[in-house]
Chain A
Amino acid sequence: MDEREFEQRVARRIDQQSRGLGRFAPPRPPLGALIAHGEAPRVSARVRTPIGSIGLLALAGAIVLALGLASVNRPGPVATGRQTATPSASTTAVPSTRTSTASAVPNSTPVTTPLSGFKVLGSGSVVWADWAPDGRHLAIVFESETTGAASSVGIFDRGGAKLTTIDGAIFAWTGSDTYLLQRFDLDGTEHDSVGRLGSATEQPVKTGSVVAAPQWPSLPCVATDSNGAYDAWFGGKEAGPREGHAMACSPDLTRIAVIVVGDGEGTCGWLKVVRADTGATVREFRSVQLCSASAVVFSADGSKVLVGDVASILDVQTGRVVVLPGFAPYGAPSGIWLPDGRVAVADENGLVQAFGVDGVESPADLPQGRYLSISSTGVIVAIQDGAATTIEIDSGGVRRTIDLAVPPMPYPAWSADGRALVVVCGTETSVPASSPFDKPGSIYGEEAVLIEVP
């Protein structure tokens, strides 16, 4: 068979087999329905996977809100209530049917002043942003908008000035000026290297499929991979891989909260707390089934873990589980530990309530929003998404708000000193309230807002 004949044979075979793929095609949905959804509707009946990709890593052309903070003493509009973003087609948030029995304290609602003064740092689809451990540098990963082209990492100084650009798709700080970088070939082959800011050379490293988990700013010491294993990093040294999805490190970095995958039908996973250095199990909570996991946060002393999705406080010392009342299953997308030892948990509609470690709700004036974050200095940020973003910042009872005409991403990144915050917002799609962490990983935001907290 000559070359021409062989090519024709290949062409026929490829064509025939590829046509066969069409028989697996799902029914075409109505165009209007597809467009109306912020996310693509599924036509075929499929059991939804328990945890889809936590693809809420959007970010992009970075807008910096630089020092344009309204003075707290300046008269400003008095907030008569949280400005609620208009729900978009893909944001199905509805007025909460839950009522807070104690958290709402109308008489003490603080005066809220708006923040303004945005500065655009760059443009492009932003994947992620995070601060170097010392807070002196900020890394923003920009996804290439060109197929196959490399993504890039913009390194900015504290004030938002761009210092340099590094080619790479995934970036994780390993020190104040050192980083782990991952690049991908078109076929997905990955190349890992470590580098230092200011140095033109990088050192290739063979870390297998180890990938930093920058989407969780609370994971300074853990890298995880896509096969359900993770590595712990100490001073640039790697310990692992170990089984499980690493979710959080204790503040003193001695413990790691890991979700272990179940092994039976109907079983999703459960939380295990291990020693960071050895991987030895400290406590397992097999009774707490986790089919989704977004907010897993250690208390300041590492003795308890708040798990937002199941609205539970897990006591590592005793194994006791306290379920917070009033939350629907997986209806608590985020939670934080408050400086006074209580927890604040947001429900899927953005109602934030405070609870003691005993699970009893207690009064608190808290910013309202579906995504909560707290700095090392106790500044609380609540982000409410929808067609727009409302960011409420509470700094010692002084409340400020930022309204953006774009939906937010749920992973605000604080600088180490708690004085600067980066919030990524996006316009491409908003986050559906019903499944906040089950979005394809192809969403990008278009604004990174750097907020200096006075």
Chain B
Amino acid sequence: MIVTPVQVRGTERVVLGVAEFEALFVAGWEPVFRYCLSLTRQTDEAEETTAETFRRAYASWVEGRGPGGQPLAWLFLIARRIVIDRRRRHRLIGWLPLGSRDPAAEDPFRRSELWLWFEQLCRALPERQREVLVLRYHFDLPDEEIGRLMRLSPAGVRTLASRALAALRRQPEVMD
């Protein structure tokens, strides 16, 4: 069932219809997937997280809790929470597929050159530094949005980015 949502911004009630959400869905599907894949480095996981992101986003949307700022950053925030949730839960649950074959080994991403590059980047930079670089240089999010997303001050974002750049300067082969 799809309903017409109403969002309250201040005292203004803004009707956010299905068409608006659908437009966000169409435009945001691949960027959200790319962001999720950069975090999870597993296409299955990224796909599930992306779908779950839009499901939750829609649920929020219809409850009048749509994006306060950039819609993409809002989607990223939801996606990021899901990724962190899943990591925690996987640890909590301690329960992975019983089959000994690693499902991730079948992942086409794992067999790509891109994977090798991301692996190299992972060895060079901690996760948060990688994430800052991707959000900043690929998604062009301003530091304020990145900070909101990662719960950092804009200055903290800049510090993280500058540390990442310094680390990469020491390992220039990653950028080759």
Contacts and interface: CB of A to CB of B under 8 A. Distances in A.
Given A35-B55, A215-B92, A24 B100 contact: no
Given A28-B25, A41-B51, A53 B38 contact: no
B175 A24 contact: no
Contacts, number: 221
A51 B114 contact: no
A147 B149 contact: yes
Contact of B94 (A225, A264, A292): A225
A442 B85 contact: yes
Q: Is the interface of A mostly helix, strand, loop or mixed?
A: loop
B100 A226 contact: no
Given A25-B30, A31-B25, A226 B90 contact: yes
A335 B36 CA distance: 38
Contacts of A29: 51
Given A10-B168, A28-B26, A34-B51, A245 B99 contact: no
A269 B112 CA distance: 31
Contact of A51 (B33, B98, B118): B98
B34 A35 contact: no
B126 interface: yes
A170 B91 contact: yes
A37 interface: yes
A123 to B, nearest CB: 16
B55 to A, nearest CB: 5
A15 B138 contact: yes
A291 interface: yes
Interface string B85-116: 11111111111111111010000110010100
Contacts of B137: 10-12, 14-15, 18
Contact of A147 (B99, B103, B151): B151
Given A441-B90, A442-B86, A262 B2 contact: no
Interface residues of B, number: 69
* Those 8 A-B pairs whose CB atoms lie nearest each other, nearest first: A441-B89, A40-B51, A18-B138, A11-B137, A442-B85, A269-B98, A49-B97, A224-B94
Interface of A: 3, 6-7, 9-15, 17-22, 24-26, 28-29, 31-32, 34-37, 39-44, 46-47, 49-55, 57, 127-128, 143, 146-149, 151, 169-170, 182, 184, 186-188, 190, 209, 211, 213-215, 224-228, 230, 245, 259, 261-265, 267-269, 290-293, 440-442
Given A29-B51, A440-B52, 14 more contacts: A13-B175, A17-B117, A19-B34, A21-B34, A24-B37, A26-B33, A28-B29, A44-B44, A49-B97, A148-B150, A211-B94, A225-B91, A226-B95, A442-B86
Interface of B: 1-2, 18, 21-22, 25-26, 29-30, 33-34, 37-38, 43-44, 46-48, 50-52, 54-55, 58, 77, 80-82, 84-101, 103, 108-109, 112, 114, 117-118, 126-128, 133-134, 136-139, 149-151, 165, 168-169, 175
15 contacts: A14-B137, A24-B37, A28-B25, A43-B51, A49-B103, A54-B95, A55-B93, A147-B149, A149-B151, A151-B88, A211-B92, A215-B92, A226-B90, A245-B98, A261-B100
